[in-house]
């Protein structure tokens, strides 16, 4: 019985370690200039490398590992209240069609869930988000 308890305790400790390591890797507090709007809520840095969206050279896909319950979907394509930022600059419009994100860009994004949850987004100036040196981060505003 004591050996079984040690196995359970060890498994719980390993799970806690990996959860903490994941949170520390993805939790992000951006350094904003003094004149930037105050951002509050849960903030997560989107992790590179981003996947290319279809044949678009301006749109990228980042997996959403924390906010999937809030993502838009076929039954509600305006559910998500997640905000995306490029460094200190808010991106948008949100809830853009995937075609508009891929073809027009200019900061458009979609927080979407089908088989998995993702952020489909473009940089503000249509440069490649993988190589332009900017940080991209998602914010879930505090509950109203």
Percent of the chain at pLDDT exceeding 70: 73
Instruction: Give the global pTM.
Output: 0.74
Only one residue has tokens 């996947």, namely 51
**Res 18: pLDDT:** 47
Which token pair is 30? 């951006």
**Res 27: pLDDT:** 55
**Res 21: pLDDT:** 45
As a whole number of angstroms, the distance between CA 117 and CA 83 comes to: 15
| Domain layout of the chain by residue ranges | 2-140
Closest CA to 115 of 59, 73, 84, 52: 73
As a whole number of angstroms, the distance between CA 88 and CA 65 comes to: 22
**Res 4: pLDDT:** 65
As a whole number of angstroms, the distance between CA 43 and CA 81 comes to: 13
As a whole number of angstroms, the distance between CA 126 and CA 124 comes to: 6
Question: What is the DSSP secondary structure assignment for residue 97, as one 8-state letter?
Answer: -
pLDDT digits (tens, 9 = 90+) for 39-93: 778 888 999 999 999 999 999 999 998 999 999 999 998 999 999 999 989 999 9
The rounded radius of gyration (Å) of the Cα atoms in the chain is 18
As a whole number of angstroms, the distance between CA 26 and CA 63 comes to: 12
């Amino acid at each position: 019985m004591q050996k079984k308890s040690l196995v359970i305790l060890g498994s719980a400790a390993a799970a806690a370690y990996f959860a903490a390591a994941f949170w520390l890797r993805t939790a992000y507090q951006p350094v904003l200039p003094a004149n930037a709007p105050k951002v509050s809520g849960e903030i997560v840095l989107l992790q590179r490398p981003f996947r290319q969206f279809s044949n678009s050279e301006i749109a990228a896909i980042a997996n959403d590992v924390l906010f999937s319950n809030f993502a838009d979907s076929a039954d509600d394509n305006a559910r998500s209240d997640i905000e995306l930022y490029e460094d200190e600059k808010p991106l948008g419009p949100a809830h853009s069609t995937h075609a508009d994100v891929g073809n027009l860009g200019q900061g458009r994004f979609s927080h979407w869930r089908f088989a998995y949850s993702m952020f489909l987004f473009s940089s503000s100036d249509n440069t490649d988000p993988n190589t332009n040196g900017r940080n991209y981060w998602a914010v879930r505003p505090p509950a109203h």
